[in-house]
């Protein structure tokens, strides 16, 4: 399922855009009046690869959602340990929808409250520098991104600045050897600028960094120097399962060195993702990609509102895909 929002002066114009871009099968998930601007309509289309179909089709202008949808989503958000403000905001936007399916309702609410900006598969606008606390999954994420690029035959440059810690280089060089990529190591900010010059031709440049303690001023100063040494995009890597307030403060510390995107990891090792939502909200970060397994070959999952909703509500996601599977033979027969 793919969700897209449309802004227009009138509802008729918004609906025309929906049909034009997403086709006749588009389902309206949410409509919202934007004061003084017009209307915003969020619509969904099914995509072949992700057969998430609402058990009951959603229709524009239908009845308000049954209390069970709100209750179901509220229970899920509480389970994830979301703070009251954030869960109240998400539930309020669900209250405005005519969704019949909790998964779709949560997708639309996430779409309204958060930004999503997965890393491109092709050329990066800037070299991407993965930053975050120790053990967040930065090096594994570099390995996953490098593998994805290598499989697409996309020329990639790998730079590591994590030279002080024993064993850190071996971890990454094991991956670069396997993929026959050259690993450049740099010790300081000026050397990073030179290394980036060397890698100018690469479509994607990935920079691994040493873990930093967000509460240690010297650690963060050092990282800021690296991030500002050249025109790079620092991307914050955070694992699931953090306390929401710690995650929020951590995200704010890294935002101050220029982070705008959040790559989330270890989603398979936790059942509580409130920390990740709190981090994105507190530092106004866009979700980019998620690591759902420790295996390099499994890669990263680009995050969209729907993908995140599935992660937050795995039972509902399974139920939706089971329903879609059960319906498929009937659909092909007609
Ligand atoms: N299960 C699981 N393990 C992960 C994931 N991401 C990272 N890890 C593991 O967490 C540990 C730390 O990861 P690493 O990339 O070295 O973290 P870094 O210190 O941020 O570079 C390693 O054992 C990784 O295999 C994930 O998404 N799922
Ligand atoms: Mg590392």
Q: How many Å lie between the centroid of ligand 2 and the Cα of residue 209?
A: 7
Q: How many Å lie between the centroid of ligand 1 and the Cα of residue 192?
A: 24
Q: How many Å lie between the centroid of ligand 2 and the Cα of residue 162?
A: 7
Nearest ligand to the CA atom of 136: 1
Separation of alpha carbons 334 and 208, rounded Å: 53
Is there a domain that residue 333 lies in?
no
Separation of alpha carbons 265 and 300, rounded Å: 9
> Do 39 and 175 belong to one domain?
no
pLDDT of 330: 59
- Cβ neighbours, 10 Å, residue 200: 9
SS3 content of the chain, % helix, strand, coil (to 5): 45, 20, 35
Relative to the CA of 140, which ligand 1 atom is closest?
A: 15
Is there a domain that residue 142 lies in?
yes
pLDDT of 59: 37
Question: How many domains are there within the chain?
Answer: 2
Q: How many Å lie between the centroid of ligand 2 and the Cα of residue 207?
A: 11
Domain boundary, last residue among 91, 116, 141: 116
> Do 274 and 137 belong to one domain?
yes
> Do 183 and 52 belong to one domain?
no
Q: How many Å lie between the centroid of ligand 1 and the Cα of residue 135?
A: 6
Tell me which residues have their CB closer than 6 angstroms to ligand 1.
Answer: 132, 134-140, 211, 265-266, 268-269, 291-294
Q: Among 135, 235, 264, name the best residue to mutate to test ligand 1's pocket (greatest count of ligand atoms within 8 A of Cβ).
A: 135
> Do 94 and 178 belong to one domain?
no
Q: How many Å lie between the centroid of ligand 2 and the Cα of residue 138?
A: 5
> Do 141 and 67 belong to one domain?
no
Is there a domain that residue 308 lies in?
no
Which run of H or of E encompasses 21? helix 11-22
> Do 266 and 141 belong to one domain?
yes
Give pLDDT tens digits for 100-131: 789 999 999 999 999 999 999 999 999 999 99
Is there a domain that residue 137 lies in?
yes
pTM confidence score: 0.81
Nearest to 157 by CA among 258, 230, 220: 230
Domain boundary, last residue among 61, 90, 116: 116
Helix (H, G, I), strand (E, B) or coil at 2: strand
> Which residue minimizes the CA distance to atom 2 of ligand 1?
294
Is there a domain that residue 311 lies in?
no
> Which residue minimizes the CA distance to atom 4 of ligand 1?
294
pLDDT of 321: 81
The residue behind tokens 């290598």 is 150
* Mean pLDDT, the chain cut into blocks of 10 residues (334 residues total): 82 86 79 82 66 34 60 94 94 83 93 97 96 97 95 93 84 89 92 93 96 97 94 97 97 97 97 97 98 95 96 89 76 47
Separation of alpha carbons 78 and 55, rounded Å: 24
Q: Among 137, 206, 219, 235, name the best residue to mutate to test ligand 1's pocket (greatest count of ligand atoms within 8 A of Cβ).
A: 137
> Do 93 and 227 belong to one domain?
no
Range of the domain at 158: 128-303
Helix (H, G, I), strand (E, B) or coil at 300: coil
Is there a domain that residue 314 lies in?
no
Domain boundary, last residue among 87, 116, 145: 116
Give strand ranges (E) for 105-193: 115-116, 128-131, 156-160, 183-185
Give strand ranges (E) for 58-118: 115-116
- The two beta strands, 128-131 and 233-239, are parallel
> Do 101 and 185 belong to one domain?
no
Size (the chain), residues: 334
Which run of H or of E encompasses 147? helix 138-151
> Do 109 and 37 belong to one domain?
yes
Is there a domain that residue 98 lies in?
yes
At 177, which CATH number? Answer: 3.40.50.300
> Which residue minimizes the CA distance to atom 10 of ligand 1?
137
Helix (H, G, I), strand (E, B) or coil at 29: strand
> Do 102 and 180 belong to one domain?
no
Is there a domain that residue 312 lies in?
no
> Do 283 and 238 belong to one domain?
yes
Helix (H, G, I), strand (E, B) or coil at 32: strand
> Do 60 and 180 belong to one domain?
no
């Amino acid at each position: 399922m793919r969700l897209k929002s449309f802004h227009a002066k009138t509802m008729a114009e918004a609906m025309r855009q929906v049909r034009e871009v997403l086709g006749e099968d588009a389902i309206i998930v949410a409509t919202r009046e934007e004061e003084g601007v017009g209307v915003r309509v969020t619509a969904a289309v099914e995509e072949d690869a992700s057969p998430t179909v609402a058990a009951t089709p959603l229709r524009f202008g239908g009845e308000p959602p049954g209390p069970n949808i709100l209750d179901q989503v509220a229970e899920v958000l509480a389970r994830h340990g979301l703070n009251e403000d954030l869960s109240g905001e998400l539930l309020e936007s669900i209250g405005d929808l005519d969704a019949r399916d909790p998964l779709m309702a949560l997708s639309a609410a996430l779409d309204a409250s958060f930004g999503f900006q997965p890393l491109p598969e092709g050329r990066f606008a800037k070299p991407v520098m993965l930053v975050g606390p120790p053990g967040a999954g930065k090096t594994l994420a570099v390995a996953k991104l490098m593998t994805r690029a290598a499989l697409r035959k996309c020329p990639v440059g790998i730079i590591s600045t994590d030279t002080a810690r024993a064993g850190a280089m071996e971890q990454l060089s094991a991956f670069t050897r396997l993929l026959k990529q050259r690993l450049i190591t740099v010790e300081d900010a000026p050397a990073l600028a030179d290394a980036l010059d060397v890698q100018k031709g690469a479509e994607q440049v990935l920079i691994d960094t040493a873990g930093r303690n967000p509460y240690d001023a010297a650690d963060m100063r050092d990282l800021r120097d690296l991030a500002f040494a050249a025109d790079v995009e620092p991307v914050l890597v955070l694992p699931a399962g953090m306390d929401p307030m710690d995650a929020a403060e951590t995200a704010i510390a890294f935002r101050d060195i220029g982070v705008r995107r959040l790559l989330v990891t270890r989603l398979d090792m936790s059942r509580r993702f409130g920390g990740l939502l709190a981090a994105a909200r507190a530092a106004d970060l866009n979700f980019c990609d998620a690591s759902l397994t420790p295996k390099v070959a499994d890669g990263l999952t680009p995050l969209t509102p729907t993908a995140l909703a599935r992660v937050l509500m795995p039972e509902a996601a399974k139920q939706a895909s089971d329903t879609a599977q059960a319906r498929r033979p009937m659909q092909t027969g007609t």
